[in-house]
Amino acid sequence: MASSSPADADADSEPDVDGGVTTGGAESRPVAGSPPGPRGLPLVGNTLAFLRDPLGFYDELAAYDSDVVAYNVAGDDGYMVRHPEDIQRVLVTDASDFCRAQITQDSLGQVADGGLFLDEGDAWQRERTALQPAFYRDRIETYAEMMVRYASERADEWGGRERVVVSDEMRTLTLEILTKTLLDVDIRGRESDIGDAAEAITANFDAGTVSAFLPLWVPTPQNRRTKRALAEFDDTIEDLVAQRRAGDDDPDDLLSILLDVEFEDGAGLSEQDVRDNLFTFLVAGHETTALTLSYAIFLLANHPERQAKLHAELDEVLGAEPPTATSLFELDYLGNVVDEALRLYPPAYTIFRESTSDVTLGGYDIPEGSIVTLPQWVVHRDERWFDVPDEFRPERWDAERDRPEYAYFPFGGGPRHCIGMRFALMEAKLVLATLAQRVNFEPGTQPPIDLSMRLTLQPSDPITVDLTER
């Protein structure tokens, strides 16, 4: 599956020359007519082109000289919106005019029918308010020492090894860190209880396969694997909750908040609500940070001059001391590396919203009920906002540039921005700093890498790096 190269023109993706166009700039946005977009086939629209190469299809839409591009996939009319001003309107300014897209509800609702990610309205607001204290800055900074210790122990395990599958290593490491810090559970040695289930579930949402469009009740081999994985996940969650309820300790963590929260009307979260929220945090939470670290290490391994600059900063600021939450304020280049990895390979590669009324975006009228696609994958690589956008240049974040705020939004934005953003960024920086203090990363997997659009932006094949001790 191709990663970033535009898809070749197909019979079912011929440009629609009758649509109105813009120049892509903010000043020349008045337009007329319908948005341009690839002309699809009768009945199936652009579905076949999308299935053949999802990321290539995104790049094809981005090649139009317009900030709004129309498409139709699986019978749904959609509009890719890629100007930061319009993205900010959808996520922030006019957020009340948009809701979670029905396609998101239909797909993810089969594995988690609620929780902070899928709930809407008052249910979402009261859960968000109740859970927010678990992610306050002063709270997550208390987890820093644990994050560094787990990362250092992983570096110890690497001693004498010449090569590691870093994508697997980061997946287990971030799961260990997340379960210990947020749930007070030491899962080391039994990561597969959750990790294997998470991997099987995310594989079911590969956008390049028909399975992604089929309900779980259809008895395909992939759906059967997913249902088994869900059953295993639910058994594990039930055990964790039962152990916490039976224990005498009263830890102050996310799991305790979920179990003990009481709303103004006296109600708490149901067992299903607890399960759905744990699914969101465990599956999405550890997977996104694992991918950020995997891509950052892959990029450093293939850009030794940038890795040398990171090593120099770590040596100057930390010496032989481990990183801390406080020292991150002095590690500017480390932050640049993480930001640049998130720009090039955003784990959350697109956001779907659905218009709840007729709206106008980019000068085009968008009908009520339309899918609005806000693709980080496309916007983060737009040369209007980033010089030489396909290159790994952490230094770009040092320079002041008049770049719109929503030219970069790896954690979404507005009232529904990722609640775990601070946690994820601190974890990624602390783990990367700890590992880079100990080892040099050298090329194993080399660019370009093939990518899959699943629940997150996944490498199609495992990412490997070679190691030498520093």
Distance of CA 197 to the CA centre of its chain: 18
Is 434 part of a structural domain of the chain?
Answer: yes
Closest CA relative to residue 69, chosen from 304, 366, 461, 443 = 366
pLDDT of 151 above 80: yes
φ, ψ (nearest 5 deg) of residue 467: -125, 140
Helix (H) or strand (E) holding 99: strand 98-100
Total structural domains within the chain: 1
Residue 273 CB coordination number (10 Å): 19
Is 23 part of a structural domain of the chain?
Answer: no
Query: Is the pLDDT higher at 354 or at 114?
Result: 354
Is 367 part of a structural domain of the chain?
Answer: no
Reported confidence tier of residue 462, pLDDT bands at 50, 70, 90: very high
Would you state the structure tokens that stand for residue 279, as one six-digit string? 């699914």
> Assign residue 184 a region: left if phi > 0, alpha if psi is -120 to 50, beta otherwise?
left
Give yes or no for a cis peptide into 448 (omega within 30° of 0): yes
Closest CA relative to residue 374, chosen from 352, 393, 390, 395 = 352
Strands 371-374 and 76-81: parallel
Q: Answer yes or no: are the C-beta atoms of 237 and 278 closer than 8 Å.
A: yes
Distance of CA 353 to the CA centre of its chain: 16
Is 254 part of a structural domain of the chain?
Answer: yes
**CATH code, domain with 273:** 1.10.630.10
Is 251 part of a structural domain of the chain?
Answer: yes
Query: Is the pLDDT higher at 46 or at 216?
Result: 46
Q: Does the predicted TM-score (pTM) go above 0.85?
A: yes
Reported confidence tier of residue 266, pLDDT bands at 50, 70, 90: confident
Q: Answer yes or no: are the C-beta atoms of 358 and 94 closer than 8 Å.
A: no
Is 356 part of a structural domain of the chain?
Answer: no
Query: What is the pLDDT averaged over residues 68-97?
Result: 95
Measured over the CA atoms of residue 401, residue 406, residue 407 and residue 409, the dihedral's sign is: positive
Is 380 part of a structural domain of the chain?
Answer: no
User: Which range marks the domain in which residue 157 is found?
Assistant: 116-350+414-469
Query: Is the pLDDT higher at 213 or at 392?
Result: 392
Q: What is the pLDDT of residues 361-384, one digit of tens each?
A: 999 999 999 999 999 999 999 999
SS3 365: strand
Reported confidence tier of residue 394, pLDDT bands at 50, 70, 90: very high
Is 61 part of a structural domain of the chain?
Answer: no
